[in-house]
């Protein structure tokens, strides 16, 4: 389901959830050898939309905390999230 940015009931937590879901899906698909792939176009689209409104400190905190939880090197996670950079 695509996040509706015009929804007046959309909250900051919805943006955080969208970004967090994307990071977790990438970790699952690339590092945890999960049988089922979690990353979908909808998750990626929602995350890209959320990034437009989330401060860099928030996205960085999400990435750092999930990297620690899943024992993924922060630099490696950054290259998985943003391979073109």
Interval 66-76 mean pLDDT: 92
**E strand spans, the chain:** none
Query: Model's pTM, two decimal places?
Result: 0.88
pLDDT attached to residue 4: 78
**2-59 confidence digits (pLDDT tens):** 777 778 888 999 999 999 999 999 999 988 876 789 999 999 999 999 999 999 999 9
Half-sphere exposure of 75 (CA within 13 A, CB side): 0
Find tokens 């990034």 and name the residue.
51
């Amino acid at each position: 389901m695509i996040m509706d940015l015009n929804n007046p009931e959309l909250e900051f937590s919805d943006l955080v959830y969208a970004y967090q879901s994307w990071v977790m899906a990438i970790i699952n698909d690339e590092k945890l050898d999960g049988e089922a792939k979690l990353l979908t176009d909808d998750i990626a689209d929602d995350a890209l939309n959320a990034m437009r409104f989330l401060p860099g400190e928030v996205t960085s905190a999400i990435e750092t905390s999930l990297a620690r939880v899943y024992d993924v090197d922060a630099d490696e996670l950054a290259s998985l999230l943003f391979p073109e950079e």
